Each structure stands twice: as C-alpha cells, then as structure tokens.
Structure 1
Amino acid sequence: MPFEPLTHEPAVEPGQAREIARDLVVVPNLGVDLVPNIGIIGGSHSVLVVDTGLGPRNAEKVLAFAAEHARGRRIYLTTTHFHPEHAFGAQVFADEATYLVNSAQAADLVHKGPGYLEMFRGLGAPVARALDGVVLATPDVVYDDAYELDLGGRVVRMEATGRAHSKGDQVVTVPDAGALFTGDLVETGQFAIFPWFPPHDTDVSGSRWIEVLGRLAAAGPDIVVPGHGDISGRRILTDVREYLELLRDETWSRRDSSLPEETIAAEIEALMIERHPEWEGRDWIAKGVGCFCADHLKIAMG
C-alpha cells in the first residue's frame, strides 16, 4: 500500500507463473506495487487459489489461469487477509469457486473493506480503474482457528494467526511440499508493511507479529511465499522477525526518554535505512514506529 499515487497498472501476469513444487504454482508479483504473489495449489480432485489480485480484471485473469490449470477439478479460493490487492477480486470467483476465510478476516471485510476501498481509490487513476466495479464478496465457508482442506491426495491447512499485520491474517501451509504462504506477515526486499492509520485502523500489532513469526519459523517450512517479493526459504521468517524486534527495541528505548514521536521516527528511519539500504517501502518504517509507540503505551498502562 504505497503512499504516492501509482502511475502504472497493478497488473497480475499469469504468463509469468512458475511451478515451485509438484502441482503448486505461484504467479509472482514481479516487484510491482499492489500486486501480490498468488498461489494455485492442486490435488487430485480440487485446486486452491491463494489471493485474487487487485480488483475484478486481475481476478478474472487469475480465475482463467486457475481454471486452465485445474482442468475440470473443483476450485476453492482463500485470501491471506482482507487488504484490496489480496481480496478485492473475490467476487469474480462467486459462481466458480468456494471461498474460505477465517472469522476475523470475514469481519474485516465487512467492517473495514468499504473504507479501504475508498482509500485505495485515492492512490491514482490506475488503481481506481482496477477497483472499478468492486463488490466485496461474502465468504462461503468461515472458520475460527484452523481449517484443513482436502484437495485429493493433498491436505492444505489454513490457519488464523491472530492479530499481527491485520486482525484476520491467515497463513496457508502445504505440508507435503514444505511450503508456506504468509500474506503480508512477510515481504522480501522491503520493510514490513504496517497498516497503522489512526484513528481509522489501529489493529496491527508489532508485538504479536513478532510472536507469530517465531511460531512460523519454529515449524521449519522449506519454501516461503511472501505477500510481496521473491519466494524464499525459512530464513526470511527469522530475518523479518529480527527486523521487527530491532524496530521495537529502538522505538521503546527512545520512548522511555520521552522524545517526540516524530523525532523517534526520524532517528529510527535513518538507522533502518543504513542497515537495509536496498529495501523498498521506507515510508512503512515510521508507521511501524507509531505502532510500537502505542504498544509501549499499552504496556506502561498495564
């Protein structure tokens, strides 16, 4: 979610898809803003699509690609969280697929979806065009904590992580392939995305995010498909967690000195850019500082 208006189309490119394990395909985001990594996971009788792309036109391309890959198999859809480039194409799948999400994400779609749709429409004409005609979809299946989907000879596990990047974050695990889809809990080549937009949205929790990444790393996946950026190995889970821990520690140490938040953010942004000069998304550092300042205040108040 960039702050500057986009001048390019946030287009999903199914022609660039590649198989990362048996009957497990990823349509990569190719480093394009507001384009997520999208998964198609196959079993003997069904396939599961992970995320839709931004808006109906992108989702139509994803559905067409998934249907071709499925070759008559049943199609399911899930989304890693409710943010527009991940879930705001689900309406296209309505007559073709069964849509599954966790209950917290379903609530996010209802209560926050309209506000995010309006906010994203302000991110430039290409984004507004991509969102033209969006109707927020209602999931067909809603689960609370975890859901195991049998695709035929392959069981995929969807798990609600609890509040971290959003209230309704979900990871998707393909155990036989050692693969993990993280959504925006993990990005490669960029600073962690903190959707910290007080007073409209303050549900992101840096402290819980760190805990979630620790649990995911302990599970030891071989392949990690991030929300955005290159597919990686399990080390990326530790790398992101260590970045968040450093961001927290640097924020809290300065917060104890009662410095203004703007000063804290400027100092920490300079430090993080020095540590990771090649990473994109520098605007998210200050948002992360704001989030950890709020976490610090909650702890101080007991």
Structure 2
Amino acid sequence: MAAFTIPDPVVDTDDVLELAADLVVMPNRGRQLVPNIGIVGGTHSVLVVETGMGPRNAENVLAFATEYAKGRRLYLTTTHFHPEHAFGAQAFAGEATYLVNGAQAEDLAVKGAGYLQMFRGLGESVARRLDGVVPAVPDLVYDDAHELDLGGRVVRMRATGRAHSKGDQVVTVPDAGVMFTGDLVEAGQFAIFPWFPPHDTDVSGVRWIEVMERLVRQDPRVVVPGHGEVGDAGLLTDVHDYLRLLRDETWRRRDSATARETIVEEVRALMIERHPEWEGREWIESGVGCLCAEHGA
C-alpha cells in the first residue's frame, strides 16, 4: 500500500448510541480506519466488541467500558484480526478476558506482524496509533461457536469461515436482535477485499456470498457494520446483492476471455453506476482480482 494522508483514526468514546437496554455502540461517524465498537452488558459481565486502532484508542475504550461495567467482569472479542479492530487488545491484558475463534487467533499470530508493518505505511497518524503494538494472544480460543453468558443475556459468537478474512466472526445478541458483523458488512461503502497477492489471498468472494446468504436468513433487527452507519437487515441484503453482481459480471467477462484490464474497467464503471454514493471505490478492483482468481478454481 502506498503512503497517503489519513486523519488521525481516533475513537470517540464520548459519542455513544444506545441500541437496546445495556447495549451501546461507539459509532465511527465516518472516520477512516475507525470501527464501530460495541459494549454489551449482562447482570454480571460486560463484553467489548473491537478495540480501535492501537493501544491509546484501546485504553480509552477500556476506560469507558470499566466505568460502564461498574464492577462487572469484562470480556473482549474482535470480529477479525485487522489492525483497527484488534490491534489494541494488549491494553485489555489483565483487565478483560480476550476470546476469539481459532482461525482468528491463527491470523493474529501468523499475519499480525505483516499487517502492522503494512498499516504503518498508510501515514504518520496511523503509524503513531500503532506505536508500541504487540499483536495480542487471546486468553480463550473456541472452534466454531461460543455462547458467552453475561448474566441474563447470552451473546453468540460464530466463526463464519473464510470470507473477508480467514478468521471472521459474527457476534449476535439474540434478546436485543443485534448483530455485529465486522467487515463482512460496510454501510455506504464497497466491500473491502484485502486481496494482496502473493502476501495475503485468504479473502474469498465466493465464500463471502455464502456467508451473507446465511446472515440474511437470520434477519436481525439491528446490524452494526464494521464501518459506516448502524442499520437494519437491509445492510446484509445490500452487501449480498453487491457481491453477487460483482461475481456475475466479473465471471461473465472472464468466460469471454476479456483482458483483465478491461474486466476491471468495465466492472468498476458498472458498480459505480449502481452505487454512485458509496465510498471505497478502490476496493472494486481488488474484488475483481479476487474473483478472477477464484473463477474455475
């Protein structure tokens, strides 16, 4: 990734959105490289979903969560290993139990150092936020599913299998009808394809579509995307339909032996025509690249 200027990716812990009783979100409010962060409470425990970019952001999130918990036990989970979601977990050491699925734990261990180096190249403000980061080792690792009892409220964690990353996790709060998707879903933005051959090719557009089909069937009341505004189940449908169209238009051109450059140009133009208001147009090309590699594989 080439270096460019990004505003300081600071998490605003003063501006929270209440989604249900004892359940709030720190919305990213359109800030680049700032995730939506959840705080979910039960009678005896509180779960934090995502850390923000780097230890300083995470320390502020932890301070908010500690005050919010008022003596309740703290847990932390992250939807996947990417830096703005998980590279603050070290700040929670000794204060919260950090739990993720096995594939995400492997991503942290195997890819953490490489992503740390890559993200530091995004600009000075990001590099400062990542100063002193050591990818955390989770305290508890589950295989495919985990039920976390917070006291009168059970939170479901489900590993989706390879999609946006190898270790994606969806976190749902059934009694509130709330689903945290991480970067499987973005609001008002083209799907982020971290397709960086030969360094990282774990993203799968084909499997991502299958994951979205399952999530759509769950029909949650509220969807908290990785980035962008909190919405309803329509966000899931939007991403599913976009990914299917991206796949179909890419594969149709690939079948006709169209040159790669032409496929990118034509598909990019079509996607922008369909969604002129969406941000992140640079991710269309990497999505095409991923799907070209998966076609016929």
Match of 2:207 in 1: 208
CA-CA distance at 1:3 after TM superposition: 6.0
CA contact (8 A) 2:11 2:52 kept: yes
CA-CA distance at 1:172 after TM superposition: 0.2
Find the aligned partners of 1:71 and 1:20 in 2 and give their Cα distance.
Answer: 19
Asked whether 1:127 is paired with 2:126, we answer yes
Match of 1:86 in 2: 85
CA-CA distance at 1:261 after TM superposition: 1.3
Match of 1:113 in 2: 112
Query: Which consecutive segments of 4 or more residues in structure 1 shift more than 6 A?
Result: none
SS at match of 2:175: helix
CA contact (8 A) 2:80 2:165 kept: yes
Please give the residue correspondences for 1:1-302 in structure 2 after superposition, counting only pairs within 5 Å: 5-298=4-297
Find the aligned partners of 1:154 and 1:252 in 2 and give their Cα distance.
Answer: 44
CA-CA distance at 1:69 after TM superposition: 0.5
SS at match of 1:255: helix
CA contact (8 A) 2:2 2:121 kept: no
CA contact (8 A) 1:82 1:109 kept: yes
Find the aligned partners of 2:262 and 2:67 in 1 and give their Cα distance.
Answer: 53
Deviation string, structure 1 residues 48-95 (Cα, Å, up to 9, x no partner): 000000000100110001001001100000000000000000000001
Deviation string, structure 1 residues 216-259 (Cα, Å, up to 9, x no partner): 11011110000000001011111110000000000000001112
- Consecutive unaligned residues in structure 2, runs of 5 or more: none
SS at match of 1:14: coil
CA contact (8 A) 2:6 2:122 kept: no
Find the aligned partners of 1:107 and 1:280 in 2 and give their Cα distance.
Answer: 30
Deviation string, structure 1 residues 184-228 (Cα, Å, up to 9, x no partner): 000000000000000000000001100101101101111000000
TM-score (norm 2): 0.99
Counterpart residue identity of residue 146, structure 2: Y
Counterpart residue identity of residue 22, structure 1: A
Find the aligned partners of 1:227 and 1:74 in 2 and give their Cα distance.
Answer: 25
Counterpart residue identity of residue 96, structure 1: E
CA-CA distance at 1:297 after TM superposition: 3.6
Find the aligned partners of 1:181 and 1:283 in 2 and give their Cα distance.
Answer: 24
The size of the alignment, in residue pairs, is 297
CA contact (8 A) 2:3 2:121 kept: no
Larger deviation, residues 210-219 vs 2-11: 2-11
CA contact (8 A) 1:6 1:127 kept: no
Counterpart residue identity of residue 174, structure 2: P
TM-score (norm 1): 0.97
CA-CA distance at 1:274 after TM superposition: 0.9
CA-CA distance at 1:7 after TM superposition: 3.4
CA-CA distance at 1:6 after TM superposition: 3.0
- Measured at CA, do residues 293 and 123 of structure 1 come closer, stay the same or move farther in structure 2, by a change above 3 Å? same
Find the aligned partners of 1:92 and 1:3 in 2 and give their Cα distance.
Answer: 29
CA-CA distance at 1:4 after TM superposition: 5.8
CA-CA distance at 1:263 after TM superposition: 1.3
Identity rate of aligned residues, in percent? 72
Find the aligned partners of 1:209 and 1:70 in 2 and give their Cα distance.
Answer: 35
SS at match of 1:15: coil
CA contact (8 A) 1:191 1:281 kept: yes
Find the aligned partners of 2:134 and 2:100 in 1 and give their Cα distance.
Answer: 17
Counterpart residue identity of residue 77, structure 1: L
- Consecutive unaligned residues in structure 1, runs of 5 or more: none
